[in-house]
Chains A and B, each alone.
Chain A
């Protein structure tokens, strides 16, 4: 969730509430220390209260998953309100539960619980930071962004189109033979960028072989084909924008000027594929923190229940 100057107003009251409760709790906790001479533990009324509130917050926090997974269409508050509460209460529960521990690690269960809590909160904060950074970067750096799950399919389509362009230009057989690939005109044009519909100015010309364009075929087979199909894993030489620019510039010196627009088109395809690689990378970071946050949260919840049972049993 983006938290910035523009939408700070919607977060400010939550932030002030959390800061206020935290400060009040810390003051109260310190007063108890001054009064009793030791930090209040989990079994003290105050510590128990902190634990109870913290535990309730953790249970509530876990309900966000249920809300998002199974109750998407339930009218039980907008998902963004749930997430907002999730963030701020999640931040609040850390100081509460630290105070609940009486600033002691305790036994192995308490120790593991505290570690898990720290991991969960830290991974959540990390995710929040990524959510504040990466979408903006994606917007700026990936004008050709597409739906993440479609990247491989679209990469395949780019390869097919490039294969067709090269085979008709060089008068050779395409790498992948299909009736569809062998027919149709050559379409050359810029890819879509944010806010502009450039597809309308595509240039169309008949597909005719161009003499002395074999270098294009070689370059396509050696450098481009695997990159378009598999992205960065395929071939790193055109995966780098600056190297790619040099390689394509060199290629243009080796083929007749009539084939230059085809070379440019394939350069555009590589640029598009590079953007999708970047998108895939950013998408991974944007969502992979959940791989830590979610299982640790589940572990925290389970161990917390065990801790509650043990603590109440031996209270």
Chain B
């Protein structure tokens, strides 16, 4: 962790870390950058509620370049320093425009000079009154410029269908350049010309409409003035779809709502139509679990009920229907069937012991009663909206309610906007944190009584920070200093290690999961021999839009100190994880065959291997599998080949189990033995079946009578889909039927390692 530096800003003392963590422009490499005076002022703002340092060319989420110089502060030298760029120093005394006449004069002159060329009021100021430069001039009472306006007016570029470019209003702050190239990585906008003729340009100074601009709008949203404005071409989109009438909301209306009030008006105008208001009558279904969704809902008024409709049961093969022996032909034949059973009737080996089921809402649902209520101010459907996951739960209006349904572009900006983010974070802290911490397996059984847990929640409430990551963005790299502990709230995180031959994925962590504990605890004697102290043993990155709850290392260690059982549990998890990783590494290091690894065979626990020298292609294995599982086969006698062996399509418990990614209710897991298991709360959306690269997960329909969500007193017949995969016939007697029924001794079950030994042995003889 960085050393703290204490400095004084306008007489107020503040301590900040000497460095902060950032990433290189491509987001690949983590870098430590010095904390600036402006960062310190932001920290101070959290206490005082006011930031005395104005900015124009800088924003917290972009790299500082210090080109506009309006953030100048007096640090005691003979020149002023740009606060957005100048690193903090111990005992530094900073005076801002609020306390220093010299700084105030400087800011005024700079603003006046910028205003001299600015077509005041610019397009943005005229339409929405939020030109940052003109606001700055007003805030500092900048007198009108004594300089003449430029004689030559640059022509307007209205070649783009959606964005109008007025070079006259551009102050060359480069925010659009950094937004386009560094945030969006589109590499379209740059600078051209020198001196007074300098201006922004698209590609090789093409008109914007003829350039490679993808009209993402990032530059327009970033622009502080009217240089880049929307052309009021609203995206015609209608978020309705489930029966309730939708009302389009204008940007002006949205600006009046507390959640949206800090969003830039150009952005809201640009995206008008991306937010619609929908009114639902009591009992009306808003969204249905398992159905695809691409919008999020903000509850404006009223209450909604969120629940799981799918029966909390898992698929089980059994001998005859309803456990009655089903006698077939001539009264001789006993048939196997497949049905749904709950965990009271049948406990699956290695099944998790859940108390909560994570869903795409601020609450997690209790396993014993998967129903919860959301109220005004809550947002649900974020994961579906950001990552296009199927809806994780059914939502129906508990009373007449009004929801705002929004598309991804709006939610994305809401999550990035400082004020909206703060609003959402506050909602999380005040309303969701307790439920979330309860749903995290690590904390669920940590405290013996409710009072202890409540104390823990109160401790955490002010300490957690919500962090967002975009797809592919690194969270930390292997070898980085360990500074925080993370809980996954939305999305999936990939955990991998750099190994000779490339990156090796260790696991994926979804909602309700946690990571980062090993690096923080590696100084403990139990872990010291297994991991280097204080550094990350693996890299973590966001697979999709991820929201993490970050707990600082200090708070985490304090918690571990206070609760010995927590510490013990974490140490056990850490030791198990590190040993398992080490085993895997040893296994892989000993494998000389690239192709074997390429086919992902090494980590397989139980491959169905067919010896093609013996196999007569009679398909008895497939037929036996179908016979054992209600006439639906869970294997296909086709797949990758290695030497004389065919590895049939049947779940192989991959090293990189991509099927786990995207399960909206986190119902597909690995057992301790690394085999996959589908838990009772599978909602049958089919995401895992789509994700499995080998087609080894099948969807199996079961007839079920379930309450009608629109009329709970009545039951309706449904075909409930459940995901199924090879269970090695563990429900029957543990002898895989495919192998048992092979008459030619061609079908065998073996681990990847055993198969490799077999191949190597065969090649020697």
Interface residues of chain A, those whose CB is within 8 Å of chain B, are 1-2, 7, 10, 68, 70-75, 78-80, 82-83, 131, 134-136, 138-139, 146-148, 194-197, 283, 286-287
Contact = CB atoms under 8 A, between A and B. Distances in A.
B334 A74 contact: yes
B743 A1 contact: yes
A62 to B, nearest CB: 14
Interface string B731-765: 01101010111111110000000000000000000
Contacts of B644: 139, 194
Nearest to B637: A147
A82 B743 contact: yes
A73 B595 contact: no
A197 B598 CA distance: 8
Contacts of B640: 197
Contacts of A146: 638
B741 A83 contact: no
Given A1-B614, A131-B616, A197-B640, A70 B328 contact: yes
A73 B740 CA distance: 8
Nearest to A137: B613
B614 A2 contact: yes
Given A70-B328, A135-B615, A139-B644, 19 more contacts: A1-B743, A1-B745, A2-B744, A2-B745, A68-B741, A70-B333, A73-B624, A73-B737, A79-B742, A79-B743, A80-B742, A83-B744, A138-B617, A139-B612, A146-B638, A147-B638, A195-B643, A197-B595, A287-B616
B743 A83 contact: yes
A72 B737 contact: yes
A286 B595 contact: no
A139 B613 CA distance: 7
Contacts of A197: 595, 598-599, 640
B289 interface: no
B613 A2 contact: yes
A72 B595 contact: no
B627 A73 contact: yes
Contacts of B595: 195-197
Nearest to A86: B743
Contacts of A7: 745
12 contacts: A1-B614, A1-B744, A2-B745, A73-B627, A75-B733, A78-B740, A80-B742, A80-B743, A135-B613, A138-B612, A195-B643, A286-B616
Interface string B599-618: 10000000000001111111
B624 A195 contact: no
Interface of B: 328-329, 332-334, 336, 595, 598-599, 612-618, 620, 623-624, 627-628, 636-638, 640-644, 732-733, 735, 737, 739-746
- Nearest 8 pairs of A and B residues by beta carbon: A79-B743, A83-B743, A72-B624, A2-B614, A80-B745, A139-B612, A72-B741, A194-B641
Contacts of A194: 641, 643-644
With a 10 A CB-CB cut-off, give which of B328, B329, B599, B618 has the most chain A CB atoms.
B618
Contacts of B732: 73
A135 B628 CA distance: 27
A105 B366 CA distance: 81
A79 B732 CA distance: 17
A70 B615 CA distance: 21
Nearest to A5: B765
A82 B334 CA distance: 19
Nearest to B642: A195
A83 B740 CA distance: 12
Contacts of A10: 745
B620 A68 contact: yes
With a 10 A CB-CB cut-off, give which of A2, A79, A147 has the most chain B CB atoms.
A79
A133 to B, nearest CB: 10
Nearest to B744: A1
A72 B620 contact: yes
Contacts of B618: 287
Nearest to A76: B740
A40 to B, nearest CB: 36
With a 10 A CB-CB cut-off, give which of A73, A138, A287 has the most chain B CB atoms.
A73
With a 10 A CB-CB cut-off, give which of B332, B614, B742, B744 has the most chain A CB atoms.
B614
A305 B643 CA distance: 48
A71 B329 CA distance: 11
Contacts of A196: 595
A75 B735 contact: yes
Contacts of A83: 743-744
A78 B745 CA distance: 9
Contacts of B333: 70-71
Contacts of B332: 70
B619 to A, nearest CB: 8
Contacts of A71: 333
Contact of B740 (A75, A131, A136, A147): A75
A88 to B, nearest CB: 14
Contacts of A74: 334
With a 10 A CB-CB cut-off, give which of B328, B329, B641, B737 has the most chain A CB atoms.
B641
A233 B598 CA distance: 39
Contacts of A148: 617
A146 B599 CA distance: 18
A138 B610 CA distance: 14
Nearest to A150: B638
B612 A79 contact: no
A287 B643 CA distance: 25
Contacts of A287: 616, 618
A10 B744 CA distance: 12
A121 B641 CA distance: 35
Contacts of B743: 1, 68, 79-80, 82-83
A87 B53 CA distance: 92
Nearest to A194: B641
Contacts of A1: 614, 743-745
A275 to B, nearest CB: 14
A135 B616 contact: yes
A77 B251 CA distance: 74
A138 to B, nearest CB: 7
Contacts of A138: 612, 617
A66 to B, nearest CB: 8
Nearest to B330: A70
Contacts of B641: 194-195
Contacts of A70: 328-329, 332-333
A135 B620 contact: no
Contact of A80 (B334, B598, B735, B744): B744
A68 to B, nearest CB: 7
Nearest to B335: A73
Contacts of B599: 197
A19 to B, nearest CB: 22
B19 to A, nearest CB: 42
A268 B8 CA distance: 76
Contacts of B628: 73
Contacts of B334: 74
Contacts of B636: 147
Given A1-B745, A68-B620, A195-B643, A79 B613 contact: no
A131 B636 CA distance: 22
Contact of A72 (B615, B627, B643): B627
